[in-house]
Structure 1
Amino acid sequence: MEVNGAEKYNVKICRKEIIAAAAEAKSLKECFLSLSNLDLLMPHIDVGVFFCYRKPPPLLSPVNNFSSMVAKLKSSLAKALVVFYPFAGEVVVNAAGEPELLCNNRGVEFIEAYADVGLDQLNFYDTDGTVERKLVPKKEADGGVLTLQATEMKCGGMILGCSFDHRISDAYTFNMFVVAWAEIAADAKELSINPIFDRSLLSPRQATKVCSLEQALQLNQLYVAVSSYIPPPPPTPPVIQNLDPSTISRIYYIPVEEIARLQSIASSNGLRRRTKLESFTAYLWKLIARVGKSGQVCRMGVVVDGRRRLKLPEMNAYFGNVISVSFSSLGVEEVEGMGIEELANVVHQFVAEVDNEEHFKELVDWVEERRPEVCMSKICIEEGLSVEVSSGRRFPIAEVDFGWGKTMLGSYHLPWEWTGGYVMPMPMSGDKGKDGDWLVYVHLLAEIVEVLETVGAGVFRPITGDYLFSSQK
């Protein structure tokens, strides 16, 4: 089967429209929603997500073609924005010079497009060429929070691309939104979860509280005032869009057998069973060190979700960022001299240091002491060989069904400007019938990608049409 390269297909923009919250939103008064201290740690970047759907079977009438699918998406989106109204707002700068969300129902840009290629011809492995700027829309740097694009494929299938402001939403929050949107489209009687916007859930414990010395030292190792690294950003910083040519994005799959094998190696002493993510991260660290030079530092970080650690039932539905990034720095020679089991122990240790309630409370306090100074994770801006792993294993692929069938393929897409890398493992899509396989999005230095595809070729396997369509039902 011939696979089209990015240069062999075109996407035509057919229509742009602003979708605001439905009429019942008139009862919602215009208001400001402050960003929490954890939101303020997020860089101004847009996160992409895309969902691929096969052509609906004829028996799914009346939703069996692109126009009916788009009509369903728009009508249900308007209703979803009544509940998730911050996504229809805009980011403004307040008197303190900090970003703030104005909930004014300005609406969400909805783009309709056509691609002269079938789903089975797309090279999803090469996401820079196939997905970027074609299937995941560019969000305009005008303060809007969310942009959507529905692309009709030549085969009759559809790809829904999304781009949202990371300062407003983490992946967990966006997952809540798309699941609710799909439930509304499917005429669910009630939503499985309703968002909570109460910012007091992440308030500093005391306005004058000072972090404990131990916690302050830990947080100063993980986070830093941006002004100490680069000139202060302008009042309205531009969205990060210019990609570093030395970094590239790829999508792989990892067979369930390989995941189990890595976990077995990382837990070989039999005393402590490491998680799949810890085992994967340790293996990735070994591969990354191969491109380093003698004396170079190699950093590995893991994004930790604090919702399950903050012992409040409301956090399960909290709208906003509730994440922290922990990492460890080792010399290239140190990593090369350690086995996967030993590295997995290091990963477990630095994750455990932040995977607790006290860390997140102290982090909120730490930010409060420095406001309005812009702060962010060191791993994003320090020079060196750095990679951040964010688990997307709770990505609700199978639940994003708008009424015309399960997602064939879905993935987050985050090409950022830093030379530091980003890796996100996710579950394979709901209609593949290959339970346990991982989908892995990577944005890494080209040299690291080469190592993944040579030394790590048995683990990191490119997403191909043969894999995606061999078990088509």
Structure 2
Amino acid sequence: MASSSSCPPFTMHKCKPELVTPSIPTPDETKLLSEIDDQNYLRFHYSIIQIYQNESSMANKDPVRVIRQALAQALVFYYPFAGRLREGRGHKLMVDCTGEGVMFIEADADVTLDQFGDDLQPPFIHSKAFMCDVAESEDIKNLPLLLIQVTRLKCGGFVVSTGWNHVMADGAGLSQFMQAWAEMARGIKTPSISPLWRRELLMARDPPHITCNHREYDQIQDDNLNSPDLDLVHRSFFFGPAQMAALRGLLPRQLRQCTAFDLITACFWRCRTRALQIDADEDVRMMCIVNARNRFRPPLPVGYYGNAFAYPAAMTTAGKLCANPYAYAVELIHNVKGEVTEEYMHSVADLMVLKGRCMPTTVRSCLVSDLTRARFRDVDFGWGKALSGAPAKGSTGPFYGGTHIVSYKNSKGVDGLVLPVWMPTEAMPMFVKDMEDMMSGNQNQQSHPTKAASFIRSTM
């Protein structure tokens, strides 16, 4: 990482992992996942880190005990999480609701929140120490569907790390589970939102038929794709009110009401493409995560916690993206999100069956997810809202072009949004300069840069 830590070394003591099971017996059954759930791209554990400060009114309560007990209660309602994945015919995933439980680790760290200083800005650079230790090569079918660690800090604060198998839920679904879990911790007996499985709503049709254009799944050959030898560095960018106003000021009046997601994503896409110095005539894609729950008619039922998103791809050439004003990129992002409809989602489900659960293309592609509405900072186990609630890593999924936008209040008390980015070392200086220029209201980067070293162009 490019970020440097101001925190001194600290020691971590972890207890032996245990399995937390539902507090009462739950149904023993098998549940099919939908085709939107069962994408190869989603077969991994994704971790959220939440950081909490001490609360004097909770001085006599142990966060580990409270959160563990609440977890057992929440699993009564969300009992599929306590099961295990099984693979059926055609590599179709299903959940065997065995009630075996989820992994839980109790830990203590010899450090205070004050010692972390600005390191709390997402992604939390010490996150690995606060997560469950599992081998990355482990078959996901052998792992519990939730991997949780709660770590007490010397100051009375604590850190909650939740790794969930992405085939079970998207960000909105996990947030719904976490809110129920937190309600149990605060003494509420039943969740305010009742969970619904209903994965048949997003199963493939019979017969399956693709009816929409899915540029995000175009299969493009690239021998150097995501080379493990690529030297990557990390930077996070904070967008407060001043930075957002500067970006809006670069737009014509009719586009100034675009969302913060549109503005930040377009800025990132444009600056990244320039920094990687992609050939002007090459196609570039920006895939935008769209929550489709309200795109159905009627909307998906309240309580549905499965994956219900698509990532339609805005596409243009590198030359057009870099030579046109910033408004060009904003309009592409804004328009592509509108492509997601109920029919689009059914078409994706059918595509998964017809094309063997193919992966989205990562060649000259970016992917951005808006996690601000997942409200991970708002999860309150009784100690108040989290100081930070965000993914443990800066990337989204299996390639470094993926990232996310999360909410965060910085050390000056300013509420804003954070965009973490990974880039090749050679490309980062130009990227940072262009991002800082745009965040200060300057878009004087109209020309497309000269050709870069072939290794940068071919390893995006």
TM-score (norm: length of structure 2): 0.83
Is residue 260 of structure 2 the alignment partner of residue 276 of structure 1?
Answer: yes
Q: Distance in 2 between matches of 1:366 and 1:286?
A: 30
2:13 — aligned with what?
12
Task: Output the CA distance in 2 between the equivalents of 1:149 and 1:261.
Answer: 40
* 1:267-290 deviations in Å (ceiling 9; x for gaps): x14367322211211111121022
| Residue of structure 2 aligned with 1:290, choices 274, 279, 283 | 274
Task: Kindly provide the amino acid, as one letter, of the partner of residue 426 in structure 1.
Answer: V
Partner SS, residue 294 of structure 2: coil
CA separation of 1:449 and 1:87: change in aligned 2, threshold 3 A: farther
Residue of structure 1 in register with 2:314 after alignment: 328
Distance 1:51 1:260, change over 3 A: same
Q: Deviations over 1:265-316 (max 9, x none)?
A: 23x1436732221121111112102222351543322111111101235433
Query: Does structure 1 residue 101 correspond to structure 2 residue 95?
Result: yes
1: CA distance, partners of 2:303 / 2:370: 19
2:78 matched to which residue of 1? 84
Question: 1:467 aligns to what?
Answer: none
Size of the aligned set, in residue pairs, is 423
Displacement of 1:375 in angstroms is 1.6
Could you tell me how far apart the structure 2 residues matched to 1:442 and 1:269 are?
A: 29
The answer to whether the 8 Å contact 1:21/1:88 transfers is: yes
Q: Distance in 2 between matches of 1:328 and 1:313?
A: 25
Distance 1:368 1:258, change over 3 A: same
Q: Which runs of 5+ in 1 are unaligned?
A: 231-241, 462-473
Pairwise CA RMSD: 3.0
Provide, for residues 20-63 of structure 1, a one-character-per-residue CA deviation record: whole Å limited to 9, x for no partner. 0102xx1x332111110101224322211011011221x33432
Pairwise CA distance, 1:321: 0.8
Mapped pair 1:136 → 2:98: no
Question: How far did 1:160 drift?
Answer: 0.5
**Whole-Å separation in 1 of the counterparts to 2:83 and 2:417:** 34
The structure-2 alpha-carbon separation of the partners of 1:183 and 1:120, relative to structure 1 and needing over 3 Å to count, comes to same
Q: Counterpart of 2:28 in structure 1: which amino acid?
A: E
Matched residues in 2 for 1:126 and 1:210: separation? 41
Residue 157 of structure 1 corresponds to: 157
Letter in 1 for 2:101: G
Deviation for aligned residue 1:173: 0.7
Partner AA of 2:360 in structure 1: S
Which of residues 47, 58, 66 in structure 2 aligns to 1:72? 66
Cα distance, 1:246 vs. partner? Answer: 3.0
2:38 alignment partner, SS class? helix
CA contact (8 A) 1:407 1:429 kept: no
- 1:419-472 deviation digits (Å, cap 9, x = unpaired): 44122112225999644x1133434444555445433237779xxxxxxxxxxx
**Distance in 2 between the 1:251 and 1:87 partners?**
32
Match of 1:40, SS state, is: coil
In structure 2, do the counterparts of structure 1 residues 188 and 252 end up closer, same or farther at CA, with 3 Å as the change threshold?
farther
SS of the aligned residue for 2:435 comes to: coil
Relative to structure 1, the CA distance from residue 443 to residue 32 in structure 2 (aligned partners, 3 Å threshold; closer, same or farther) is farther
Say if 1:408 and 1:294 are closer, same or farther in 2 by CA, change over 3 A.
Answer: closer
Mean Cα displacement is larger for which, 426-435 or 5-14?
426-435
| Whole-angstrom CA distance in 1 between matches of 2:11 and 2:388 | 20
Name the aligned partner's letter for residue 130 of structure 1. H
The worse-fitting range, judged by mean Cα deviation, of 31-40 and 441-450 is: 441-450
Please give the TM-score of this superposition, normalised by the length of structure 1. 0.80
SS at match of 1:424: strand
What's the counterpart of residue 211 of structure 1? 210
Secondary structure of the structure 2 residue equivalent to 1:180: helix
Q: Does 1:427 align with 2:421?
A: no
Check conservation: 2:370, 2:406, Cα contact below 8 A: yes
Residue ranges of structure 2 left out of the alignment (5+ in a row) = 441-460
2-side partners of 1:307 and 1:319: how far apart? Answer: 10
Is residue 2:237 matched to residue 1:258?
A: no
Q: In the alignment, which residue of structure 1 is the partner of 2:105?
A: 111
Quick one: structure 1 residues 128 and 155, their matched pair in 2 at CA, closer, same or farther if it must change by over 3 Å? closer
Q: What is the aligned-residue identity percentage?
A: 23
CA offsets 1:380-424 (integer angstroms, 9 cap, x no match): 3xx33x221101120224531111222111112344674441221
CA contact (8 A) 2:377 2:389 kept: no
Is the CA contact 1:5–1:129 (under 8 Å) kept in the aligned structure 2?
Answer: no
- 1:156-305 superposed matches below 5 A: 156-205=156-205, 207-212=206-211, 215=212, 218-219=213-214, 221-223=215-217, 246-266=231-251, 268-270=252-254, 273-295=257-279, 296-305=282-291
